[in-house]
Amino acid sequence: MREWQLQARRPDGFQKPTRRLRSTVAHISGLALLVVAPGLMVCAGVEAFGRGDDTIPLLICAGLFGGLGALMWSGTRLGDLAPRTVFAAVAWSWLLVSVMGALPYVLARTFAQPGQGRWIELADAVFESVSGYTCTGSTVLTTLGDLGDPDPEVGDGVLFYRQLTQWYGGMGFVQLVITVLPTLGGRAIGFIGAEATGPNTERLSPRATDTARILWKLYVGATVVITLGYVVAGMRPYDALAHALTTSATGGFSMYNDSLGEFDSLPIELWAMAAMAFGGSNWALHWVFLTRDRSVYGRDHEFRAYIGVLIVASTALTFMLWADGGYGTGSTALRAATFNAISLGSSTGFGNAQGPGTAGDIAAWAASPLLVILLLMFVGGMSGSTAGGSKVIRSRILLAISHRTLAEVRQPRAIVPVKLGRDIVSETVVGRVATFMMAYLALIVGGLLVVTLLGGEIEASLAGVVGSLGNMGPAFGEAGPTSTFQAAFPTPARLVLAFLMLAGRLELFAVLLMFAAPRRSVRALRPHKHTF
């Protein structure tokens, strides 16, 4: 009975065989579609009571997500749970949701432009969807409105869906699936590890499913608090909720052309900076702080390094902008430098520019501050956070490896461990970090080569590749915070960047392993004759 599950016992004592294929990939992917469907229903309600006439397309998409998800889930059961299969299941579920996530944009004709082919419109929709679910924040949407616009080109429901994609992707919808799939038991930790950020998977409870629930409860609670903070700072409730969804996820999508710069409000920017720094920190630390240990932040090596990087970068950028002399007073330079350092250091990607060429427009900065920004985009936030990048902990371990190498050169017979403070890092973690960083750099070099060959300008391409792989958002040049990626990159190059976004969000290995054993997966899907 390997490929048949017997259900519905009849009065005569026999059971009616119900065919359910063993497929971990299809089972998890179906549940991922199911958990996104209610969000689409909410967006349809926002569209119906707001500004826009795309309620029907959103309802159709909700039905497609729910119907296909239910079919995939009910028609399959969990099969092989080897690590390669778990990683493949997570990667394929992300790919499926991201590609299907383009349907609301396609049916609503969000990216339709005169004289533009439908395949370009489809490619733009896929790019926007992948950018949303991976919490990258890069956009090709050129029809965003301004604050107080009575007749926006894109309806409220579609814009709210765009914000919601990042909220789903921030903590990860596979972790959300685990909270409603208790049958996984201890095997759930493999799925959490495949989707989580950083070299290690932390447990907040002996049961992995409880860990997923704790993180999602904290995530929802943080979103509510951030929403209230934005309201107090001066946003209307709808704007506050929409921006809180992408702030807690460190995603960076905004409903306005100038992002948070549209509000030109120091209280809003100050609250956003605090919330972005919070989202870029390890969420396990937040839970430990709230429940049992008020000193956990000060004792954590990565948190201290993360805050130190943000402070040093903000100070350096302030001095560079002030020395440049083209950004008004020192307070203007401080405001622009600190906001952008935290925004990109946490991989959120919000902007505070009030237009092209203003102090907050990083595309208008000189080369030296842009180099600092590029380094921030490479490092990113903490492990276990919603942030992207290579992660602070990996950069610290890489420096510790370099220190050990120098020590071994001086004393060839010495056995020197890799240490973070007084803590010794296991050789297993050292190997994983070294492998990850080599693969990360290889993808940057390879991505830069491909994007430039496809027509991207070198400065914008470099920042675009690093930012896409690190899920950052804006790039340099024509892809800066006051423009879109449509102006800087041709369509094939944007699709390459979309792939890098997905690879970066899943920390490379899940995307690479999704192709590792296709023959084995196909064989597992083949039905075999049932036996009694």
pLDDT digits (tens, 9 = 90+) for 3-12: 444 444 445 5
Give the integer Cα–Cα distance in Å for 109 and 22.
38
pLDDT of amino acid 181: 60
Give the integer Cα–Cα distance in Å for 125 and 117.
13
- Taking the alpha carbons at both ends of the chain, their separation in whole angstroms is 7
Residue 419 inside a domain? The answer is no
pLDDT of amino acid 5: 45
Interval 288-312: pLDDT, tens: 999 988 899 999 999 999 999 999 9
What total number of domains does the chain contain?
Answer: 1
What are the C-alpha distances in Å from 408 to residues 418, 422, 433, 444? 11, 19, 19, 30
pLDDT of amino acid 374: 95
What are the residues facing 424 on neighbouring strands? 419
**Is residue 226 a contact partner of residue 248, using CB atoms and an 8 Å limit?**
yes
Residue 87 inside a domain? The answer is yes
DSSP letters along 25-44, please? HHHHHHHHHHHHHHHHHHHH
Residue 267 inside a domain? The answer is yes
Closest CA to 228 of 256, 248, 214: 248
DSSP structure class, residue 256: B
Give the integer Cα–Cα distance in Å for 220 and 214.
10
pTM of the model: 0.89
pLDDT of amino acid 193: 60
Contact partners, residue 359, CB within 8 Å, separation at least 6: 321, 327, 328, 332, 333, 335, 336, 353
Residue 374 inside a domain? The answer is yes
Neighbour count for residue 112 (Cβ, 10 Å):
15
β-strands 21-22, 76-77 pairing? parallel
What are the residues facing 19 on neighbouring strands? 4
Contact partners, residue 228, CB within 8 Å, separation at least 6: 240
pLDDT of amino acid 190: 59
Local structure of 140: helix, strand or coil:
coil
pLDDT of amino acid 525: 47
Residue 407 inside a domain? The answer is no
**What's phi and psi for 145, nearest 5 deg?**
-90, -170
What are the C-alpha distances in Å from 495 to residues 137, 142, 308, 504? 15, 18, 35, 14
Give the integer Cα–Cα distance in Å for 465 and 336.
24
What are the residues facing 6 on neighbouring strands? 17
**Is residue 255 a contact partner of residue 144, using CB atoms and an 8 Å limit?**
yes
Q: Using only C-alpha atoms, what is the Rg of the chain? A: 24
Low-confidence ranges of the chain (pLDDT < 50): 1-10, 13-16, 517-519, 521-522, 524-525, 527-532
Residue 100 inside a domain? The answer is yes
In this structure, what token pair is assigned to residue 184?
Answer: 């996984």
Residue 415 inside a domain? The answer is no
Only one residue has tokens 């409603």, namely 180
User: Within 13 Å, how many C-alpha atoms sit on residue 106's CB side?
Assistant: 17
**Is residue 181 a contact partner of residue 78, using CB atoms and an 8 Å limit?**
no
pLDDT of amino acid 384: 87
**Is residue 272 a contact partner of residue 247, using CB atoms and an 8 Å limit?**
yes
Residue 187 inside a domain? The answer is yes
DSSP structure class, residue 426: P
pLDDT of amino acid 3: 41
pLDDT of amino acid 494: 96
Domain holding 200, by residue range, is 22-393+427-525
pLDDT of amino acid 14: 46
Dihedral class, residue 383 (left if φ above 0, else alpha if ψ from -120 to 50, else beta): beta
pLDDT of amino acid 530: 43
